[in-house]
Amino acid sequence: MCPCILHVAYACSFQSLKVLRTSEFLPYVVFLQSPDFEVLKAMNHSAVEAGVVTKALTDEELQRTCDESAKIKAAFGHFFDLTIINENLDETYRTVKAALETVSKNPQWVPVTWVF
């Protein structure tokens, strides 16, 4: 089976998790959670200084990101197989990559209704 990565960007798209969480797709859902406000602000500042992004986000935009992340986790957390707090991009990448390798190589638990 070939892994497929689906990026769900908007809260209304999270409704699709209900459709995809079936035996046909056998999803392994990873949620990249926003870090705390101060960490996110420092990450944004570092990205601007490094030239990775051209515009610094406002405190209101950063707080909205933190708030939306918390709401998504509260509403849809039961769909997530793995939650990673994205406090460091390199570490987050390594964690996602390791999870993908693990899922690709090892058997995963699935609901009994998916097997029969």
| Cβ neighbours, 10 Å, residue 40 | 20
Alpha helices (H) along the chain:
16-20, 37-49, 59-76, 89-105, 112-115
Is 81 part of a structural domain of the chain?
Answer: yes
What average pLDDT is seen over the chain?
85
Write out the residue range of the structural domain in which residue 101 sits.
Answer: 28-106
How many structural domains comprise the chain?
1
Is 76 part of a structural domain of the chain?
Answer: yes
Per residue in 53-104, pLDDT tens? 999 999 999 999 999 999 989 988 988 889 999 999 999 999 999 998 998 8
Integer Cα distance of 74 and 1 in angstroms: 31
Give the percent of the chain with pLDDT over 70.
85
- Indicate the range of 3-12, 32-41, 47-56, 67-76 predicted with least confidence: 3-12
Is 57 part of a structural domain of the chain?
Answer: yes
pTM: 0.80
Is 66 part of a structural domain of the chain?
Answer: yes
CATH number (domain holding residue 101): 3.40.50.300
* Beta-sheet pairing, 82-85 with 30-33: parallel
